[in-house]
Amino acid sequence: MRKSTLFCAAAAAAISSGWAMADPDDDELVINGEIEIVTEAPAPEHVENLDTIYSGWRFRTDETQALEMDDFDNPAMVLVDKAVDAYGMPDGTEAKSCASCHDDVETFTGLAATLPKVGEDGKLHTIEDLINTCRTERMGAEPWKWSGEPMQTMAALIVSQSRGLPVNVSFDGPARSFWEQGKEMYYTRYGQLELSCANCHEDSFGLMIRADHLSQGQTNDFPVYRLKQAKLISKHNRFKGCIRDTRAETFAEGSDEFRALELYVATRGNGLSIEGPGVRQ
């Protein structure tokens, strides 16, 4: 009894000092001096355990943050330029390019802010699904690998059309059961370390876990360019890494489980701006 009171006091002291040191910073993000990004917003009502949601950008060092403030400094934008070429390049048995059907890539403005969403087939579709449906069914081309460079650069190009627009992912109607599944996963303590997404990104954001400053694990910045790996990282690749780090059997990129988790995590960011492609250490 005495011990537990003492313990609580010690824990409270440690936690409050942690917070004071390690909250998200107060920096503001304006890309290219013109696209204003909302990196902090009131938590949506369905995110019961948070008051405020923050973009992962707010937890990064000043040097990493700076790389996202100007497209000339953002290494992901070099890849986006490559995707602009790929967008106009005919491929597959139909010899069509994206541009053959969609005209300018600007026609995709707003799309990324609403994904993933349920299609007419009743399935949940991510940006990777939409891209591969065009490739296989309309172009007669091979599908791209989920986290491969052609897929993620094209995803980055399409996402970047929505920068500055509020994330507004729906989970009503047909999306509801996927959302429930994703929520269940978010709170499941996987692996031998028995850690859930919520343990790290809801209970402990702002704190250090070894050398990592924990963010809320938001996805409004994806795909992100990871300097350490020098490439674009998909959401599913990030989820896979986080689950693997709990000493768990992870799920596959492009699995239905990760689609559902992606939907749930995206709705936790409703109200932040689309910011991708972002930059991370």
Partner 1 sequence: MRLSIFLAATFLVGAAATAEEIAPGDVVFEDGAVAQSLSGQPGDPENGKVLMDKGAGNCIACHSVTALSDLDFHGEIGPLLDGAGERWTEAELRGIVANAKMMFPESMMPSFYRITGFIRPGDAYTGKTIDPAAIAPLLSAQEVEDVVAYLVTLKD
Within residues 189-228, the interface with ligand HEC by CB under 6 A covers 195, 197, 199-201, 209, 212, 214-215, 217-219, 221, 224
* Residues of the shown chain interacting with partner 1 in the complex, contacts defined by CB under 8 A: 3, 6-7, 10-11, 13-15, 18, 21-22, 188-195, 199, 203-204, 207-211, 240, 243-250
Question: What's the CA gap between 165 and 178, in Å, rounded?
Answer: 24
The site partner of 164 among ligand HEC, partner 1, none (C-beta below 5 to 8 Å per kind) is: none
The site partner of 248 among ligand HEC, partner 1, none (C-beta below 5 to 8 Å per kind) is: partner 1
Q: Specify the 3-state DSSP secondary structure of 256.
A: helix
Query: CA 199 from chain center: how many Å?
Result: 18
Q: Does 242 bind ligand HEC (CB under 6 A)?
A: yes
Q: Of residues 98, 134, 200, 242, which has the active-site annotation?
A: 242
Tokens 């902090």 -> residue:
40
> Where does residue 94 rank: exposed (0-12), middle (13-18), buried (19+ CB within 10 A)?
middle
Nearer to ligand HEC, 217 or 277 (CB): 217
Phi and psi angles of residue 195, each rounded to the nearest 5 degrees, phi first: -125, 130
For residues 116 and 262, the answer to whether their CB atoms sit within 8 Å is: yes
Active site residue 242: yes
For residues 266 and 239, the answer to whether their CB atoms sit within 8 Å is: no
Nearer to ligand HEC, 47 or 139 (CB): 47
Q: Cβ atoms within 10 A of the Cβ of 114, count?
A: 15
Q: Cβ atoms within 10 A of the Cβ of 237, count?
A: 21
Smallest separation (angstroms) from partner 1 to the CB of 182: 16
The site partner of 203 among ligand HEC, partner 1, none (C-beta below 5 to 8 Å per kind) is: partner 1
Catalytic positions, written as ranges = 242
Q: Which residues form the interface with ligand HEC (CB under 6 A)?
A: 7, 10-11, 56, 59, 195, 197, 199-201, 209, 212, 214-215, 217-219, 221, 224, 238-239, 242-243, 245-246, 261, 265, 280
